[in-house]
Amino acid sequence: MPKVEFVTVDVFTAERFTGNPLAVITDTRGLTTEQMQQIATEFGYSESTFVLPPEDPANSAHVRIFTPTLEVPFAGHPNVGTAYVLGQEANLFGKPVGDSLRFEEKAGLVEVELKREAGKVAAASIRAPRSLEIGETVAAELVARCVAIDTKNVRIDRHPPVFASVGLGFVLAELDGLDALGRALPDLAAFREAVARHPGDGLGFSVFLYVRDPSRPDHIRARMFAPLDDVPEDPATGSASGALGAYLVASMPEADIRTNLTIEQGVEMGRRSIIELDVIKQQGKVTDVRISGRSVFVMRGSVEC
């Protein structure tokens, strides 16, 4: 019976029991895909990661990411948290660990920069593996029903709800204020209707709601709901934040711009998270999206499979 070691970390926070929890199984050689899915389901976190040796020795590791129900090609907080965990090690699959890592994932290569304080890894910054992809729009009325708010609370003056991705797709919808954001609750029947109408890439229907702070244009409050993936609400969603940052910067009139955004998420869950974004647009096209955050260790143990 194989036995694998795991650690859990809280991601996009420096304080335990806030941020987004993540299980990292640090060496999963010998596990099947089915066993990985079973372990992810057992943890019940929005995602768990499974680390394998890289297929190309030029890279650092092969990382697989599972929600409680399925494997996904990319996600933000699993990469930030996994990089934080692996960055504490002196060696990874026989190679010394420096300040840069490169993960092989279904969405492509994920480049990672480790940030050290007093010689220890305190945070990680990842580069989104794909360019911004903008998909179909979604009716404001449907989004409103998915999260049990009034259609009038969904702002369509700046953009309609729309699918966007830098590696994993989400429906981005701006709301008219924190009151509506605080009242949002997932309606499973409406989500099932939505995914039937918008099957997309077959990875479900996830809604990322956000509110801009008029006094601080670079600060955004957000919530993410994916009940069809057994994630009623996610405390921090780096991949959705990256997609939102890229989408907003792409819509700016400047042809060349570099901007920083801060996304605050998980407040309503009592798990406040802070996600930092650095987005670059050159010659009218978003060319680089970096997602950064801190992490902190919580638990260690082993799993018998």
Beta bridge partners of residue 212, listed in sequence order? 220
- 133 noted as active-site residue: no
Longest Cα–Cα distance of the chain, Å, equals 59
SS3 of the chain: helix, strand, coil, percent, to 5: 20, 45, 35
Nearest-Å Rg of the Cα atoms of the chain is 19
Q: Exactly one of 15, 42, 47, 174 is catalytic; name it.
A: 47
Report the alpha-carbon distance of residue 6 to residue 11 in Å, rounded.
15
CA angle 138, 141, 147 (to 5 degrees): 95
Query: Which residue intervals of 149-250 are DSSP H helices?
Result: 178-183, 188-197, 238-250
Q: Is 195 exposed, middle or buried (0-12, 13-18, 19+ CB in 10 A)?
A: middle
Active-site amino acid positions: 47
